[in-house]
Every structure is written in structure tokens, then in C-alpha cells.
Amino acid sequence: MIVLKELLRKNREVGLLDDPDFNKTRRCHDWRNYIPDELRNAWKELSYEARIAAYLVAKPQADRENWD
């Protein structure tokens, strides 16, 4: 749990986990673009741990984006 807290501390987007406003995603490098609709629709019912897990899966995908 300590590693998870440190990882989250380093990511400024963590503050968005309570209310990520999926309607205001940026075009590039935005982890919210990688959250499936099923999770978006159920976001408010997800536990904080489930939200963290979704973020930790989506964030590296967004970070790997390359736009010309």
C-alpha cells in the first residue's frame, strides 16, 4: 500500500479520481480516454481502490501516445 500511495502522490491527476468529468478529456495523454464506457457509467459506484486500479491501467497507455 505504501508503494501505491507514493505512486499516486507523484501523479497530479489523482485528484480527478473522485469526479473525473469524462466529458472534458484532452485529446492526447489523458488517462480518461482509456476508461471504457462501462466503467465511466459506474464510476460513482466504484470503490476508491477500483478507481485507482482503473487509473493505473489507463495512465501508462495515455503516456505512451505519440502524436505527430
pLDDT at 7 over 90: no
Alpha-carbon span 24 to 4, nearest angstrom: 26
Q: What is the pLDDT of residues 8-64, one digit of tens each?
A: 666 666 677 888 999 999 888 999 999 999 999 999 999 988 998 999 899 999 999
Indicate the pTM of the whole model: 0.78
pLDDT (0 to 100) of residue 9: 67
Which amino acid is it at 36?
Answer: P
pLDDT (0 to 100) of residue 4: 65
Alpha-carbon span 66 to 47, nearest angstrom: 32
